[in-house]
Amino acid sequence: MTDGVVVVGGGHAGAAAVAALRQEGFAGPIRLVTAEADLPYQRPPLSKAFLKDQGTEPQLIRPEAFYAAQGVDVELGATVTGIDRIDRTVTLADGRRLRYDGLTLATGARVRKPDVEGAGLAGIHYLRTTADARALRVALGQATSVVVIGGGFIGLEVAATAAALGKRVTVLEAGDRLMGRAVAPEISRHMLERHREAGIDVRLATSLGRFLGFRGQLVGVEPAGSTAPIEAELALVGIGVIANSELAQAAGLATDGGILVDSHMRTSDPTIVACGDGVVFDHWHAARRVRIESVQNATDQARHAAMALLGKPDPYRQVPWFWSDQGPTKLQMVGLSHGADRIVLRGRADDGRFSVFHFHRERLIAIDSVDRPADHMVGRRLLAAGTVLRPDQAADESVDLKALLSAG
């Protein structure tokens, strides 16, 4: 490979991709081209510790010296605007063209924005990048009333942080429960109680109507179908993300709500692989097409993508896992619970530490844990090993899950 590998996107997947290429023995040129001004950094703290402390700096995934030591040429603030698959070149926004033998698309995702009246007012925030987080942190320091649109992970993490900082916080969630697409109803109920106890006014089945402003500045949020506005100096919108797949699509690669890859992270062009939040793939376990948003997924997929580019394809079969810190509570999810036909509880919801085991036709497919890290850790191993666990065993705390793992 004389022209080497170009990696587009410097998030968790892009950073892992360049490291994996070297770990797998690739000695040719590597270029990491990323639109952001920062070297790849950890996104999860942006909705957690970073917001609480004005002095905290973003944590780099790898120190700056890593890239020089590994011979990785990093282009910050550079956007790839086109891919020419015949010439094997990418075009940057400044007109330069970079040749590649292998291309890795790690373009991730961007925030979804609501198309409602007042959406352009100052005081409305989103959270994806360090720039977003810095602006939100400053605004949080000054605001007294905060409205969070969206009761998903990011919205609830920010809501919990804002409440801990003494702000008056309201959360609007369009669905009938919190984190409805991601966790079991028992967890949604439990977290609803925890957030309400922390003083957050959580309103379920309540959609955003419009933002209200005065002289260009946000002053309130009006729920849909309501004439009772909620006072808001600051709004944080956390209503999901959109995969950055337009670049791939324009180059004629297959997409389906994300860049479509096979089990080896190969796109429909054998010289181009893709990984992370921006890709969709047919999940071996869930037997459906998914797009997964997690650090684990981005990092693990990047390694498999690197192996495919280097002619050592190895199917991606890691069990997905994810976490969310909401105030003092830690949620940990492993597996994909979609399609579960039975759930059982281990531990008791009323003492605040429990796990929900999801089964499909008596087969364990996912575990959601609330402050039960041991269940999560053993769950990862149970799911990876495909260990048979019956629902009655999952519910029975006298059954030692680790012992089951060793037995079989």
Ligand X SMILES: Cc1cc2nc3c(=O)[nH]c(=O)nc-3n(C[C@H](O)[C@H](O)[C@H](O)COP(=O)(O)OP(=O)(O)OC[C@H]3O[C@@H](n4cnc5c(N)ncnc54)[C@H](O)[C@@H]3O)c2cc1C
Q: Which residues bind ligand X (CB under 6 A)?
A: 8-14, 33-36, 43-44, 46-47, 79-80, 106-109, 127-128, 154, 244, 247, 276-278, 293-296, 298, 322-324
In the bound state with ligand X, the residue whose beta carbon lies nearer, of 293 and 375, is 293
Min. distance of Cβ 27 from ligand X in angstroms?
24
Q: Which two tokens stand for residue 175?
A: 């669905």
Q: Count each helix (H run) and each strand (E run) in the chain, helices first.
A: 11, 26
Min separation Cβ 297 and ligand X, Å = 7
Minimum distance from CB of 13 to ligand X (Å)? 3
- C-beta of 63 vs 386, nearer to ligand X: 63
Measured from the CB atom, the residue of 145 and 324 that comes closer to ligand X is 324
Cβ closest to ligand X, residue 128 vs residue 266: 128
Q: Contact, 279 vs 259, CB < 8 A? A: yes
Helical residues (DSSP H) of 217-343, grouped into ranges: 246-250, 295-309
CB of 182 to ligand X, least distance (A): 11
What is the C-alpha separation between 236 and 169, in angstroms, rounded? 11
Q: Please, what is the minimum distance in Å from the beta carbon of residue 408 to ligand X?
A: 29
The Cα 198–Cα 194 span in angstroms is 6
Amino acid (1-letter code) at residue 169: V
Residues 118 and 229: beta-carbon distance below 8 Å: no
For 41, other C-beta atoms within 10 Å of its C-beta total 22
The smaller minimum CB distance to ligand X, of residues 91 and 387, is found at: 91
d(C-alpha 198, C-alpha 206), whole Å: 20
Q: How far is the CB of 197 from ligand X (least distance, A)?
A: 22
The distance of closest approach from Cβ of residue 68 to ligand X in the complex, given in angstroms and rounded to an integer, is 20
The DSSP bridge pattern shows strands 109-111 and 241-243 to be: antiparallel
Angstrom distance (rounded) from CA 323 to CA 365: 17
**Closer residue to ligand X, CB minimum distance, 222 or 325:** 325
The Cα–Cα gap between 87 and 74 comes to: 22
Cβ proximity to ligand X, 29 vs 40, nearer residue: 40
Tokens at 360, concatenated = 């499909």
The values of phi and psi at residue 84, to 5°, are -105, 105
